[in-house]
Amino acid sequence: MSLVPGSDEVLFVPLGGTGEIGMNLNVYGHDGKWLIIDCGVTFGDPSLPGVDVMMADPTFIEERRKDLVGILITHAHEDHVGAVAHLWSRLRCPVYATAFTAKILRRKLDEAGIAGKVKVHEVPLSGNIPLDPFDLTLVNMTHSIPEPSGVIMRTGAGTIYHTGDWKLDDGPMVGGSPDTDALRAVGEEGVLAMIGDSTNAMVDGHSGSEADVHASLMDFVGTMENRVVFACFASNVARVQTLAEVAHAHGRAVGLVGRSLWTMTEAARETGYLKDLPPFLREEEAMQLPRDNVLMICTGSQGEPRAALPRIARGDHPHISFDAGDSVVFSSRIIPGNERPIGQMQSMLTSQGINVITERDHFVHVSGHPASEELRQMYDWIKPKIAVPVHGEAPHLRAHADIARESGVAHTPIISNGDVLRLNKNGAEICGQVQTGRLAVDGTDLIRITDPSLRERAHMLWNGSAVLTIVMDKKNHLVAEPQLSAPGLLGDNDDDYDLMDDVLDDVIDALSNIKGKKRNDDEATIEQLRRAVRKSFRMRRGKSPTTDVHLVRLED
């Protein structure tokens, strides 16, 4: 698609993060140039075995790389920064971020082996970034991670306010309060469009303050006995600060369990946060303390199989185990789609006599995203002519658009990933559609989720696989008994031995039914036998395994 943004318009092209939660990749075009805001990942799902994370397909902006002025990261959550290390080699442009976010990003780039290639510009809080023809000014906000920023984008076609992830919290525990003066000021200047977070648009009221969680947990932990464990997002540095202060007030040392927790807290200390707290304990040290003298913070609140808490629940963590009477508190929200693994993990913990506490049982969590009243307050300050809901699934986007209309916004388009939205003095219109999709991190490779290898792997997951080995002489006589292996379908029991015999009988019958010239056509013979194996398993076990046939011919 030939698409060159004019000087009298701003084109907004979400490649990821609109119509879904996660995987944010937002592209802006103006006066012949392009800018990316955020470049994140999302979790894999059970339909893609072996895939831990996915990201938006950047083909559209990759094809316009020569006109790409940079990537701005609004904050250090994985769904906003996690794809930079994977996609930068395709984009090859400078990256801009505040100190904490830059610290996290550089670690990711170092792990990917490209830290020396990527120019990361560190921007001060509320700093200005002139990237002609975009003039960008950061606005300090609050969220569930240090240094979240909104972005004021001044262009020749008007001013855009890109909210990033945000909430209004005057007691954030870590970092400053939202810069409401800057928000009011830009609203008075005049704003063409606000591109905004929709995650909690369906939630009434206010998201709540971290200071209120601090007060609640201070009382709650004082009533608890034995070992106390909190599961939360590693990036929620404010919650770590809260838990550390609560623990120390009740004579408990704090142990961190999970690599990502150490990464986040070390980055926080290096950039001036958590500086008044004593050192955290390693997991082995925490386990040596009396149960009443320790509070642990664990990764894995979403049931991620390789994270700390799910491994502890399964009993396969190398250093940590819990005892009956210990308490595990889930101090985080459930990301949509993770309900099942979280429920399974909580059931495993409960079956071991461990007390499981969630936000349904006690006030242990507040969201990092704006509820409906915060959205209304933001519109009262910004007063945009156009509101574009992003960062949410379809119901969230629609609820956000409703709030914007109620707040007096004239244009409230609901768009999807790949839509090209033209923003100008006349309003907003969808003027095109570009390629979008998902890429999967598959080991060391980055492949499209439509890749045949992923489909084949999923088929093998649900149907198993089979390998048949046939040895024949040049006269097409069997030289040895056929050998069949079917991991996941055939085990070590009498019923499976009988099933194997039945399948092999079907193979021999199929071989005897191959007539004439086909008996000398190895490719045709292999295909016939492959179908025979699949048909036999389908009739007897209800499965159609991925099947390979090895045909060996002996010449003598």
Cα angle: 503, vertex 509, 512; to 5 degrees: 145
The reported pLDDT for the residue numbered 242 is: 97
The reported pLDDT for the residue numbered 49 is: 62
d(CA 69, CA 323): 55
**Residues of CATH 3.10.20.580 domain(s) within the chain?**
464-554
CATH code linked to domain 10-205+367-448: 3.60.15.10
Question: Is the CB of residue 146 less than 8 Å from the CB of residue 237?
Answer: yes
How many CB atoms lie under 10 A from the CB of residue 275? Answer: 9
d(CA 257, CA 283): 6
**Residues of CATH 3.60.15.10 domain(s) within the chain?**
10-205+367-448
The reported pLDDT for the residue numbered 104 is: 97
How many CB atoms lie under 10 A from the CB of residue 289? Answer: 16
Nearest to 165 by CA among 367, 7, 468: 367
Where do we find the tokens 């009739």? 539
The reported pLDDT for the residue numbered 474 is: 78
pLDDT tens over the chain, length 556 residues: 568 999 999 999 999 999 999 999 999 999 999 999 999 998 776 666 666 788 999 999 999 999 999 999 999 999 999 999 999 999 999 999 999 999 999 999 999 999 999 999 999 999 999 999 999 999 999 999 999 999 999 999 999 999 999 999 999 999 999 999 999 999 999 999 999 999 999 999 999 999 999 999 999 999 999 999 999 999 999 999 999 999 999 999 999 999 999 999 999 999 999 988 999 999 999 999 999 999 999 999 998 888 999 999 999 999 999 999 999 999 998 877 788 889 999 999 999 999 999 999 999 999 999 999 999 999 999 999 999 999 999 999 999 999 999 999 999 999 999 999 999 999 999 999 999 999 887 777 777 877 677 777 776 777 788 899 999 887 778 888 899 988 778 777 767 778 888 888 888 888 888 765 556 678 888 888 889 989 998 888 888 888 899 988 887 6
The reported pLDDT for the residue numbered 512 is: 82
d(CA 476, CA 63): 56
- CATH number of 464-554: 3.40.250.10, 3.10.20.580, 1.20.1260.10, 3.30.360.10? 3.10.20.580
Q: What secondary structure does DSSP assign to 397-456, as a single string? A: HHHHHHHHHHTT-SB-----TTEEEEEETTEEEEEEE----EEEEETTEEEETT-HHHHH
H/E element holding 545? none
Q: Which CATH homologous superfamily contains domain 210-357?
A: Metallo-hydrolase/oxidoreductase (3.40.50.10710)
The reported pLDDT for the residue numbered 556 is: 62
Nearest to 120 by CA among 179, 76, 59, 160: 76
**Residues of CATH 3.40.50.10710 domain(s) within the chain?**
210-357
Asked whether the bond before 133 is cis by omega within 30 degrees of 0, the reply is yes
